[in-house]
Amino acid sequence: MKTMQAVRIHTYGGPEVLKYEEAPLPKPGPGEALVRVHAAAVNPVDWKIREGYFKGRVNHSLPLILGWDLSGVVEATGSGIEGLKKDDEVYSRPDIARDGAYAEYIVVRETEVALKPTSIDHVHAAAIPLAALTAWQSLFDAAGLSAGQKVLIHAAAGGVGSFAVQLAKWKGAYVIGTASNRNQDFVRNLGADETLDYQTTRFEDVVHDVDVVFDTIGGDTQKRSWKVLKKGGILVSIVGPPLAEEAAAHGVHQASVFVQPSATQLTELAKLVESGTLRPIVETVLPLSEARHAHELSQTGHTRGKIVLRVV
Ligand SMILES: NC(=O)c1ccc[n+]([C@@H]2O[C@H](COP(=O)([O-])OP(=O)(O)OC[C@H]3O[C@@H](n4cnc5c(N)ncnc54)[C@H](OP(=O)(O)O)[C@@H]3O)[C@@H](O)[C@H]2O)c1
């Protein structure tokens, strides 16, 4: 049996259950490609799945390779593949129900992959798919954000937030972002018109009449967000479905987004990177063998931009 190095879990639990070890080399089936992973980004969903948070929602079998964000090179293609060929440089947010990208190789469906932006390296390309697709699908597909609208983006310095600020500005929106003191300048440099230090200012005291709230925090932050919306506005959450009754009581709309793979949107995002409109922010790069440390960092909840594992 051919093998590769990968980071797997054999049981759910803390960062110590991550094992850097040999795993079977996967083979592409019809409509799939085998990709040599050069870099894999770390997302909070990785440690949530590691902890068993998705048990019952996604049918994983163990051992499981974590990590659903990657940039790499096509090594081989299965039958029926038309848009990809060996040696294409690609990036992807693959299906989280299957083995992930903390590995030397991954099998992905053609529908989940696009050519990576040529102007950046694999480490920076790997930082894009999951977080940028989430921001795109939340702001544009769910909220229908348009030019001239006002949007409040919570956790604007994080993985999703740092893309959301840039995408909202590209659309022509007025952007208000929340972050701690250390990230105020950082979020402004991403393009935000206003920033708020959530640790010293209650955002609902100073923000009013926004068209869209992008909730990446949930809980109390979500509850306090209703009142900053103008009538007919929308609260979009990626962390917990907002209650329809609360939305109705405030005369606004609500939506909950769970990011979906999209080759088409990845191609649009690649164009924005090539034109210099969109910039992935990578705060930390670690070797694949240090996935455990990467999870510990991600779980602090204070990552600026992204953490990426270098595989090649
Ligand atoms: N539904 C989906 O499809 C989907 C997709 C992607 C992510 N998510 C979820 O969305 C959440 C955010 O993901 P992410 O990748 O952006 O996480 P992340 O990169 O780990 O977010 C870290 C950021 O959160 C900020 N932060 C922490 N507490 C805050 C608060 N109370 N108010 C404002 N900012 C705060 C931190 O800023 P400071 O350091 O300045 O405090 C830091 O920059 C996670 O729970 C993730 O699982 C869901």
| Ligand 1 pocket check for 183: Cβ under 6 Å | yes
pLDDT of amino acid 146 = 98
Domains and CATH numbers, the chain: 3-128+280-310 (3.90.180.10), 131-256 (3.40.50.720)
The answer to whether the beta carbons of residues 125 and 267 sit under 8 Å apart is no
Read off the pTM. Answer: 0.98
Cα 45 to ligand 1 centroid, rounded to whole Å: 11
pLDDT of amino acid 49 = 98
Banded pLDDT at 94 (limits 50, 70, 90): very high
pLDDT of amino acid 235 = 98
The mean pLDDT of 105-118, rounded to a whole number, is 97
| Ligand 1 pocket check for 195: Cβ under 6 Å | no
Q: Give percent of the chain with pLDDT exceeding 70.
A: 100
Banded pLDDT at 33 (limits 50, 70, 90): very high
pLDDT digits (tens, 9 = 90+) for 7-19: 999 999 999 999 9
Give the mutation target among 188, 262, 302 for probing the ligand 1 site: most ligand atoms within 8 A of CB: 302
Cα 220 to ligand 1 centroid, rounded to whole Å: 14
Q: What does the chain come to in residues?
A: 312
Cα 303 to ligand 1 centroid, rounded to whole Å: 8
Banded pLDDT at 1 (limits 50, 70, 90): confident
The mean pLDDT of 103-111, rounded to a whole number, is 97
Residue 172 CB partners (closer than 8 Å, separation 6+): 146, 147, 148
Distance of CA 260 to the CA centre of its chain: 10
| Ligand 1 pocket check for 190: Cβ under 6 Å | no
Element (H, E) at 44: helix 44-50
The mean pLDDT of 77-92, rounded to a whole number, is 97
Cα 301 to ligand 1 centroid, rounded to whole Å: 6
Residue nearest to atom 44 of ligand 1 (CA): 44
| Ligand 1 pocket check for 254: Cβ under 6 Å | no
pLDDT digits (tens, 9 = 90+) for 172-206: 999 999 999 999 999 999 999 999 999 999 999 99
Residue nearest to atom 18 of ligand 1 (CA): 158
| Ligand 1 pocket check for 251: Cβ under 6 Å | no
The answer to whether the beta carbons of residues 25 and 76 sit under 8 Å apart is no
Give the mutation target among 220, 221, 303, 304 for probing the ligand 1 site: most ligand atoms within 8 A of CB: 303
pLDDT digits (tens, 9 = 90+) for 118-147: 999 999 999 999 999 999 999 999 999 999
247 CB neighbour count, 10 Å cutoff: 18
Cα 154 to ligand 1 centroid, rounded to whole Å: 8
| Ligand 1 pocket check for 166: Cβ under 6 Å | no
The answer to whether the beta carbons of residues 106 and 6 sit under 8 Å apart is no
State the closest ligand 1 atom to the C-alpha of 134, by its place in the atom list counted from 1: 5
The answer to whether the beta carbons of residues 122 and 116 sit under 8 Å apart is yes
* 100 backbone dihedrals φ, ψ, rounded to 5°: -95, -155
Residue 132 CB partners (closer than 8 Å, separation 6+): 163, 167, 269, 278, 280
CA distance 123 to 310: 7
* 131 backbone dihedrals φ, ψ, rounded to 5°: -70, -40
SS3 146: coil
pLDDT digits (tens, 9 = 90+) for 287-312: 999 999 999 999 999 999 999 999 99
Cα 40 to ligand 1 centroid, rounded to whole Å: 18
136 CB neighbour count, 10 Å cutoff: 22
